[in-house]
Structure 1
Amino acid sequence: MLGAEEAALVRGVWQKVESAKDEMGEETLTRMFLVYPKTKTYFPHFDLHHGSEQIRNHGKKVVTALGNAIQNLDNLRQTLADLSNLHAYNLRVDPVNFKLLAQCFQVVLAVHLGQEYTPEVHVAFDKFLTAVAAVLAEKYR
């Protein structure tokens, strides 16, 4: 998955994300709902307006889960097992949405990090988020 240098980049960037994770989670979900409106179908009970408390809270959950995955890069399958089961068996979320969310998170990272979002950081996070999406989608097979 990630080489040692890439893992170090992801962990280093994550320290910057921690201070703004609530905001970044909300921005990621808001962006996903705007750019990929079909993703809204999995949130019929949510107030999907900009600034919604429900979007803010769910965004916080998403980013917290990513942080947990970063702390456990060597054991993503076990770390994300409960989320994988929840999304596959209970929520029945289309696994394509994990990739769409990852793309939106990459954009939010780039906006927040600016010059610090180097091509190397982009590649490292892309590999990480691709691995997370793959693990979350495993139960669908």
Structure 2
Amino acid sequence: VHFSDAERDAIAAIWGKIHIDEIGPQSLARVLIVYPWTQRYFSKFGDMSSVAAISGNPKVAAHGKVVLGALEKGVKNLDNVKATYSNLSQLHCEKLNVDPDNFRALGDCITIVVASKFGNAFTPELQNAWHKFLSVVAAALSSRYF
């Protein structure tokens, strides 16, 4: 996948404004709330019986930070995203058995959280580049499945 200079600049601009400690927990919580079947992968996280329980769950927050922190590797390796996530793809495929459709769902939730945080500053042009980036990451994470 080729990223244009404008797309690279847009991705870097978005990433430069993201606070992992805020966006990560909100994004993972949103996935678990909007797509409740994803909760099965986090059975050891404790109470996820309600929106409040998920949103206030420290294990969800901690893992959300890990997940979003892993995106930085992709931002820094736009020319080789697939190889960057090869080990994570293998882990999620072979050990964790995560349905690869969930990577796209997570990307959508990250985009929604980012858009709500940045408001009008998250222009359609920025969203286009960000969506392309997250789609490439989702495909890379799914690469061991196919």
Taking structure 2 as the reference length, the TM-score comes to 0.92
| Structure 1 CA distance for aligned equivalents of residues 35 and 82 of structure 2 | 27
CA RMSD of aligned residues (A): 0.9
In the TM superposition, structure 1's runs of 4+ consecutive aligned residues that sit over 4 Å from their partners are none
Identity of aligned residues (%): 39
**Runs (5+) with no aligned partner, structure 1:** none
Q: Deviations over 1:72-116 (max 9, x none)?
A: 111112211111111011101000000000000000010111111
Task: Provide the residue aligned with 2:40 in structure 1.
Answer: 41
Q: 1:126 aligns with which of 116, 125, 131?
A: 131
Q: 1:95 aligns with which of 96, 100, 116?
A: 100
| Structure 1 CA distance for aligned equivalents of residues 72 and 56 of structure 2 | 23
Q: Deviations over 1:23-43 (max 9, x none)?
A: 111000111111110111111
What SS does the corresponding residue of 1:92 show, helix, strand or coil? Answer: coil
What SS does the corresponding residue of 1:44 show, helix, strand or coil? Answer: helix
Taking structure 1 as the reference length, the TM-score comes to 0.95
CA positional deviation for 1:133: 0.5
**Runs (5+) with no aligned partner, structure 2:** none
CA positional deviation for 1:69: 0.8
Conserved 8 A contact 2:92-2:98: yes
CA positional deviation for 1:13: 1.1
1:6 aligned to 2:7?
A: yes
What SS does the corresponding residue of 1:139 show, helix, strand or coil? Answer: helix
